[in-house]
Amino acid sequence: MSKILVTGCAGFIGSTLCERLLQEDFDVVGIDCFRSNYERTTKERNLCWLLQQPRFHFLEKDLISVSLSSILEGVAYIFHLAALPGVRTSWGTDFKAYVDNNILVTQRLLEAAKKVPTLKKIVYSSSSSIYGGMEGPTTEDRIPNPISPYGVTKLSAEQLCQLYYKNFGIPVNSLRYFTVFGPRQRPDMAFHRMITRVLNNQPIPIYGDGQQSRDFTYVDDVVTANLLAAFSSCEGEIFNIGGLSHLSVKEVISLIEIYTEKPARKNHLPPQAGDPKHTWANISKAKKLLSYQPIFDIEKGIALQVQEIKKNLSSDL
């Protein structure tokens, strides 16, 4: 059986990916250092089911410093999700942490991968934030123009992947995810903050006029895209991974009101630096080369996320 490594396995997307891999009968080694971008207990909760599975092996290690040679020995697939995420939080004095966790860690992994003859594929988690804003559905050949420090680091790491592919034949594909939502979404992200606050009868912060829009992508569709990118014959490719729903923040809030069955009190705040006005994925390339097809619409996804947050709020009481 192929050895699989998932970096960032305690996070929102990484833990969901590990669960799918185990359900599909793979053995998985997961690595995470519980970075403090949000509560350790939340990440431990993400790992709960995984830690009970005999075919899951967890390493609490920091990819900035851990020796990678023994971890990568015999590995066939690496899903590289570990990073410091978040567009708006990437301003300020902590930029070194973004450089270290997003660029240096990726470079270390790629360098170590050169010495792994068993390696079949690395799938790198890139981001729509490498584009900056978009006026309509955007294809992968658009010139990148990140407008946040986070976007700069995600683009650098993606370009490192391309360099290691072109110079050393490291078989890597990069997936540019577009605003991912669903159960376990990071607490700094819009749906999580808004659903939690509506359920707690607190006002929700809206940055700007709420007319900004996103190509919202359900987490299970992102997980499927990872599997397709790993097990396809494509190498050295970059794919947009978008969802079924392109909506404004205002439209999202109306859906949250429906699925929480509560009215939202709104607190309008200034627009945030680094936030693109609109994002919109053209996913023709992923459809054609990977047979990627998102299946979760926004209503189903929000309903599942509301259900999860309600359950966690009641168990936290």
Query: Would you state the torsion angle of the CA atoms of residues 178, 182, 183, 186, taken in this order, to the nearest 10 degrees?
Result: 40
Q: Is 205 in the site for ligand UGA (CB under 6 A)?
A: yes
Give the separation between CA 159 and CA 112, rounded to whole angstroms. 17
Of the candidates 185, 182, 190, 217, the one whose C-alpha atom is nearest the C-alpha of residue 206 is 190
Q: Is 95 in the site for ligand NAD (CB under 6 A)?
A: no
Instruction: Please identify the residue of the shown chain whose CB is closest to the bound ligand NAD.
Output: 11
The residue to which tokens 């189903």 are assigned: 300
Which residue spans within the chain are E strands per DSSP?
3-7, 27-32, 56-60, 75-80, 121-127, 172-177, 180-181, 204-207, 213-218, 238-241, 245-248, 266-269
- Is 150 an annotated catalytic residue? yes
Total binding residues toward ligand UGA, as defined by CB under 6 A: 20
Contact in structure between 313 and 196 (CB atoms under 8 Å):
yes
Q: Is 148 in the site for ligand UGA (CB under 6 A)?
A: no
Residue of 131, 150, 218, 259 with catalytic role? 150
Q: Which stretch binds ligand NAD (CB under 6 A): 3-11, 70-78, 287-295, 300-308?
A: 3-11
Given 59, 163, 189, 289, the residue binding ligand UGA (CB under 6 A)? 189
Binding site partner of 13, from ligand UGA, ligand NAD, none, Cβ cut-off 5-8 A by kind: ligand NAD
Q: Of residues 45-104, which lie at the interface with ligand UGA (CB under 6 A)?
A: 85-87
Report in angstroms how near the CB of residue 88 gets to ligand NAD at its nearest.
13
Report in angstroms how near the CB of residue 206 gets to ligand UGA at its nearest.
4
Q: Is 206 in the site for ligand NAD (CB under 6 A)?
A: no
**Per-position DSSP letters for 86-107, written without gaps between them:** -SGGG-STTHHHHIIIIIIHHH
**Per-position DSSP letters for 225-283, written without gaps between them:** HHHHHHHSS--S-EEEE--SEEEEHHHHHHHHHHHHTSPPPEEEEPPPTT--SB--B--
Q: Is 179 in the site for ligand UGA (CB under 6 A)?
A: yes
Site string for ligand UGA, 238-257 (x = CB under 6 A): -----------x--------
Q: Is 301 in the site for ligand UGA (CB under 6 A)?
A: no
Of the candidates 161, 113, 151, 100, the one whose C-alpha atom is nearest the C-alpha of residue 130 is 151
Q: Which stretch binds ligand UGA (CB under 6 A): 100-108, 124-132, 157-165, 258-266?
A: 124-132
Please give the residue ranges that form the binding site for ligand UGA (CB under 6 A): 85-87, 127-129, 177-179, 189-190, 193, 205-207, 212, 214, 249, 272, 275
Catalytic residue numbers read 150
